[in-house]
Structure 1
Amino acid sequence: MQGGHYGVPLERSDYLKLTRNRNSCKPERFAKWLEGFGSGKRLAVDLFSGAGGLSLGLQRAGWTVAAAVDFDERALETHAANFPGMSLHMDLGNPDERDRLEQVLEPAKGKIDLVAGGPPCQPFSRAGRSKIRNLVEYHGRDPHDRRKELWSAYLDVVRRLEPRAVLMENVPDMGLGDDFFVVRTIEQQLEELGYATQVRLVDAWRYGVPQHRKRLILLARKDVDKFEWRQELAEEDRTTLRDAIGDLPELPVVPTERVGDREWAYSADPSELSSFATDMRKWARRGVVFDHMTRRVRKDDWEIFDGMDSRTLYSEISPELQRYDVKHFTDKYKKLGWGELSRSITAHIAKDGYWYIHPDQNRTLTVREAARVQTFPDRFRFAGTRSDAFRQIGNAVPPLLGQAAAEVLWPTDQGLAEGALQPHWRTVRRELTLWAERQREGDEWYQLPKLSPLHAAVVAILSGTRVQPAQMYKMVETIRERSSLTKNAFLALLEAAPTDAARARVDRLSVVVGKSRVWQQPEEVPGHLGMKPGEQRLYQLLTDNDLLWIGQGALRVAARLNGSESDRTNKLSDGRVDLVKLVGAGEEAPLRMAALRLIGDTLCLARQPLCERCPLSAFCASRDEVSGDLFSDAVSGTHGRAAVPAQTGDPERRTATRR
């Protein structure tokens, strides 16, 4: 029967039922499994495992997955068929289920070496952050909307199992959407449990995955403060789409007819296989490729696909063939290129394959091709229908990426004595906090939280004006003892303003002169003053809101301490990751963030940085490179006297100016 507006017969593929792995086990047999198959092996638990992409990565890196946990029954059927150990159907958002998991794993108490997983982590809006500390305190047992706090459930399991190492994987948007608030909170909690941690954004193709895919990886370990990744692939050595799927058999494509099948003849000459394809073919049945099938192709789609190449935009398709509004569906169709990386495989592929059109066959990618691009080997089968398989593949962690991350956590011979671990970034944050507290007690008080709404508003409004630090200090001192802006205080501010530009900024405050109620509602102050976005964020930071200040100075400090160039290359992604290592989480995070802004604007300068006065210089990976032979210049006083933006200031410079 013709499928109406679909243009092809409606078709539901057969259901592939898989038998369990011969070394899998049920909970009641777990103790025996540990004595048998699991004996002497390094054991891992995979939470939110899905079909097992990360489990396979752990396996390739040397671990045996003793238990995988997920709520998706189809994915668990896939996992049970492909892995030994237990595949457990549980809702980890339910504390009772976590109690049950702990009971099931009781026979392995003290033997679980690694807990891994990719918990769904919805970003927290700033409006909801006031509730987060209570939520963390109760380890996710707060009943309100548990599904959104599965990361807290993940931490709860880590607390219960006390593994040596932890691996968490997720998409970067998890961090970028809320200034990495959830990520920083997780990292802080792990550090309080005694782990050294590392947060990193990783391009999956750097580790052999043939697609554009950036993932956020959080690693933690209790044995050493050491996270050494293997060398990344150079761009010329990346795995292209041709390397990944070029050996798979061509399929006849007739519009509206079935495309491919569960089993298809495979006759590639092993001598012509890429190293990637050779790896994917290991232990697969000879002469057969499984699940090489995809959706039927509409007649108009066949014509569209036939006229496209990898650079064709949807708006360039013949108008009479376009079915979607080009304004809203600018990238609705994407033909892949043989010599390129694939577009990132996501769960959307289960709905349609228009983002994944084969380079020279007028069809979308098959299940097996999508699995190859995700780096699942050909022996790996997916339970359920064709759509089930696409969804499981799209939701998975690419196994080769999982392997690369897991390898970083392999035990070393350099273990530390009990209690001797001093995580590097926790030490850096402690020094930064101590320095900031000293500055807050001195002349830099107006640069750091917790300012009153009035003081924060004045500093934010004046930000960007280039005046001498001593002059800025004089201005804010006129209102230091005030909580609202009286007429006399406003006139004193105007009189202290050294330039026309500064006076113009101060004049913006005239709309709130004498209105004491304005300052009793801090969140509404930016609106009253018409603050620009940058001014508003600075105001929020100085009033002790937890956010990342993505200013050039702070990014420069973070990049130099990390020995990277993120302040000049990927400011909004890698730059933020470098920054969060220094900011951390908790009550003092805003203070550290403001301190980094201050250091970046007054000490860690782009040219001629004052390394000898920076409180973090002992931890700076770039000090030798950026300071050069400037120490002698600093001693002789030949630099450091230039005017700086009004939001910055250094006590020693102010003293020199007064003299």
Structure 2
Amino acid sequence: MPIPIIDLFAGPGGLGEGFSSFKNGKAFKIKLSIEKEATEHKTLELRSFFRQFEKDKVPEKYYELMREPDLKKREDLKKELFRSFPRQYEYAKKEAWQCTLGGDEFPPEIVNTRIKDALKGEKNWVLIGGPPCQAYSLVGRSRRQWKENLDKKDHRVHLYKEYLRIIADHHPSVFVMENVKGLLSSKVDGTHIFDKILRDLRNPGIVFKKRKAPKYRVFSLTTKPSTFDGKGNPFYDNPSDFLIKAENYGVPQKRHRVILLGVRSDIKEFPVILSQKESVNLKDVIGDLPPIRSALSKTFIGSERTPNKTGVSKIKRYYKSLTDSPEEWKKLVKGFAEEIQRINGFSSQKKIPSPVNSDFDAGSEFIPFNSPSIKNPLVDWYRDERLKGVSNHQSRSHLTQDLKRYLFASLYTQKYGRFPKMDEYAKYGRELLPEHQNAESGKFSDRFRVQLPNEPATTVTSHISKDGHYFIHYDPSQCRSLTVREAARIQTFPDNYLFWGPRTHQYHQVGNAVPPFLAYQIAEIVEKIFYESLLK
């Protein structure tokens, strides 16, 4: 029987997908996924439905849904799909639960009942998940103008206790907990919160005294312990030993996350660590997707400073809406290219390739296309031959001035092997600087970042849902930011994984996920613990 899994703070299901994919779904089975956000929950529900079928027996109606580019029609197709397979849908509906952990609407008694019902008395199971990490985020802390100390009144700082409470109440054999790198340096009242979390995870009874909670050994997945105490508890020299650099494990992304592996103290098997893999570059995994152009939205025409009631001056910006068309885009980009290539330093640059075939226009929620290529290093992971195309591959609409910056940045990167900083934009033309009061302050010197083709991408975060400036495509002929599917490839989601909701929500889901291919490798370690100690 597959090993049961409970997935907390599940997001769109990255951790769960990795575990569910191990040994073609025969090693682990998700019994309950808990997520508060509506669109993430719908993505989880659809993916759970997909997993109820053997790989070669997924109904054709599922692929018809994926191939539908119209979101409203896709919603109707999903309802029809679920009606056609009521048994599988009922399981998916029961597995994917929209619930806010730690909120008043779902007290611990209700959550405990759902978990008990899902486990059906099974004592040996796995808890996975990542408590919300915005409070620990290095970027978020910088914006809130403190470097280390967190606001102890921020409830998100303490949401890990919901994860801890479920450990204390339900005693999983193994747990896997993920969080951001900033957790290692975060402090509350001058005390490192990571030390406190590690102490609590080792002994949940410290916090939840009335439960008969077992103790846990907490391991790194990348570093062997420096020593053990007399009870076999591992100890490490540095908190950074718990950091996983995803690019070292075949993920085409420089994503650095803290992942803790807890093993119940009655289990004597010690886990192995992850085996490093050859680096995978960005172009290797997204270069075989259909080329598309950016879309046009509006153009900036001017601004003025206007005082408000308190006398503080504010900038009011004015824009003109544009009609998007392949012809207008080609005309605009061609003009930008000629202008940039007249700049000193670019005059010797080879001509930019002609704009892409307008048949693909600005992309779509589905494009018929033969991808991934057999040369893609993760072809077997991404590919589903029945899909016959690419979903969630539609470009954003961009401000024309941003398109010029994107084109300049990608040409600069092509020439110098790195993306330009803000002072370099100013050097090549003041009009390349954004209309932003901090443009030349140095605070956002990397505001426009081209993703380098011959390296793993930088970390895909939920901020990709905002504007795409940190995720500019390396190909100047496409002149755009990355699509949802490109971000999903970087995060190692299979191509048949459909992200629900409008595009902004899709981006947000992808950015918040754990790379499934990394989770798959962790699943192998966890399965070995069960095989050696519990399944003999």
TM-score (norm 1): 0.51
Which residue type is aligned with residue 160 of structure 1?
Answer: D
Give the conservation status (yes or no) of the 8 Å contact 2:202–2:216. no
1:545 aligned residue: none
Give the conservation status (yes or no) of the 8 Å contact 1:224–1:414. no
1:181 aligned residue: 195
Pairing of 1:503-514 with structure 2 (within 5 A): none
Pairing of 1:622-637 with structure 2 (within 5 A): none
1:98 aligned residue: 108
1:291 aligns with 2:392: yes
Pairing of 1:606-617 with structure 2 (within 5 A): none
Which residue type is aligned with residue 502 of structure 2?
Answer: T
Give the conservation status (yes or no) of the 8 Å contact 1:196–1:224. no
More off after superposition, 172-181 vs 354-363: 172-181
Which residue type is aligned with residue 421 of structure 2?
Answer: L
Change (3 A) 1:296 1:163: same
Pairing of 1:146-161 with structure 2 (within 5 A): 146-161=155-170
- 2:283 corresponds, among 242, 249, 255, to 242
1:229 aligned residue: 273
Change (3 A) 1:351 1:92: same
2:217 aligned residue: 196
Deviation at 1:74, TM superposition (A): 0.8
Q: Give CA deviations for 1:613-632 in whole Å, capped at 9, x if unaligned.
A: xxxxxxxxxxxxxxxxxxxx
More off after superposition, 350-359 vs 106-115: 106-115
Deviation at 1:266, TM superposition (A): 0.8
SS at match of 1:408: helix
1:209 aligns with 2:251: yes
Change (3 A) 1:284 1:196: farther
Give the conservation status (yes or no) of the 8 Å contact 1:93–1:147. no
2:504 aligned residue: 387
Deviation at 1:209, TM superposition (A): 1.2
1:73 aligned residue: 38
Mapped partners of 1:128, 1:80: distance in 2: 35
Change (3 A) 1:382 1:228: same
SS at match of 1:155: helix
Structure 1: gaps (5+ residues): 1-39, 132-143, 418-659
Mapped partners of 2:460, 2:534: distance in 1: 41
Mapped partners of 2:155, 2:40: distance in 1: 22
- 2:125 corresponds, among 94, 113, 120, to 113
Structure 2: gaps (5+ residues): 50-91, 206-212, 221-241, 298-323, 325-360
Deviation at 1:409, TM superposition (A): 1.7
Give the conservation status (yes or no) of the 8 Å contact 1:302–1:362. yes
Mapped partners of 2:295, 2:172: distance in 1: 54
Q: Give CA deviations for 1:555-591 in whole Å, capped at 9, x if unaligned.
A: xxxxxxxxxxxxxxxxxxxxxxxxxxxxxxxxxxxxx
Change (3 A) 1:396 1:284: farther
SS at match of 1:153: helix
Deviation at 1:412, TM superposition (A): 4.6
Deviation at 1:177, TM superposition (A): 1.5
Deviation at 1:160, TM superposition (A): 1.8
Change (3 A) 1:340 1:71: same
Mapped partners of 2:372, 2:7: distance in 1: 37
Deviation at 1:220, TM superposition (A): 0.8
Mapped partners of 1:172, 1:305: distance in 2: 29
Mapped partners of 1:269, 1:283: distance in 2: 10
Change (3 A) 1:171 1:243: same
1:374 aligned residue: 491
Mapped partners of 2:120, 2:97: distance in 1: 17
Deviation at 1:149, TM superposition (A): 1.5
1:275 aligned residue: 377
Note the aligned Cα RMSD (angstroms). Answer: 2.7
Pairing of 1:482-501 with structure 2 (within 5 A): none
Pairing of 1:318-397 with structure 2 (within 5 A): 318-323=429-434, 324=436, 325-327=439-441, 328-360=443-475, 361-397=478-514
Mapped partners of 1:349, 1:369: distance in 2: 12
Mapped partners of 1:229, 1:322: distance in 2: 46
Give the conservation status (yes or no) of the 8 Å contact 2:33–2:96. yes
Mapped partners of 1:127, 1:176: distance in 2: 9
Deviation at 1:363, TM superposition (A): 0.3
Q: Give CA deviations for 1:97-126 in whole Å, capped at 9, x if unaligned.
A: 321121123232442610110012546999
1:259 aligns with 2:362: yes
Pairing of 1:454-469 with structure 2 (within 5 A): none
Change (3 A) 1:306 1:176: same
Mapped partners of 2:402, 2:15: distance in 1: 35
Q: Give CA deviations for 1:111-144 in whole Å, capped at 9, x if unaligned.
A: 2610110012546999999x9xxxxxxxxxxxx7
Which residue type is aligned with residue 408 of structure 1?
Answer: I
SS at match of 2:458: coil
Larger RCO, structure (CA 8 Å, separation 6 or more)? 2
- Quote the sequence identity (%): 28
Mapped partners of 1:365, 1:221: distance in 2: 39
Higher strand share: 2
Mapped partners of 2:45, 2:5: distance in 1: 15
Mapped partners of 2:199, 2:178: distance in 1: 15
1:87 aligns with 2:87: no
Structure with bigger gyration radius: 1
Deviation at 1:268, TM superposition (A): 4.6
Change (3 A) 1:188 1:128: farther
Q: Give CA deviations for 1:386-433 in whole Å, capped at 9, x if unaligned.
A: 00000011111111122222322223554389xxxxxxxxxxxxxxxx
Which residue type is aligned with residue 47 of structure 2?
Answer: N
More off after superposition, 406-415 vs 201-210: 406-415
Mapped partners of 2:203, 2:12: distance in 1: 28
Give the conservation status (yes or no) of the 8 Å contact 1:229–1:404. no
Q: Give CA deviations for 1:416-467 in whole Å, capped at 9, x if unaligned.
A: 89xxxxxxxxxxxxxxxxxxxxxxxxxxxxxxxxxxxxxxxxxxxxxxxxxx
Mapped partners of 2:379, 2:34: distance in 1: 30
Which residue type is aligned with residue 239 of structure 1?
Answer: V
SS at match of 2:497: coil
Which residue type is aligned with residue 280 of structure 2?
Answer: T
Give the conservation status (yes or no) of the 8 Å contact 1:247–1:277. no
Mapped partners of 2:520, 2:102: distance in 1: 27
1:42 aligns with 2:3: yes
2:419 aligned residue: 311
Change (3 A) 1:128 1:188: farther
Deviation at 1:204, TM superposition (A): 0.6
SS at match of 1:291: strand
Change (3 A) 1:283 1:44: farther
SS at match of 2:159: helix
1:403 aligns with 2:364: no
Mapped partners of 1:380, 1:269: distance in 2: 14
Q: Give CA deviations for 1:513-558 in whole Å, capped at 9, x if unaligned.
A: xxxxxxxxxxxxxxxxxxxxxxxxxxxxxxxxxxxxxxxxxxxxxx
Give the conservation status (yes or no) of the 8 Å contact 2:128–2:175. yes
Which residue type is aligned with residue 322 of structure 1?
Answer: L
Mapped partners of 1:312, 1:145: distance in 2: 37
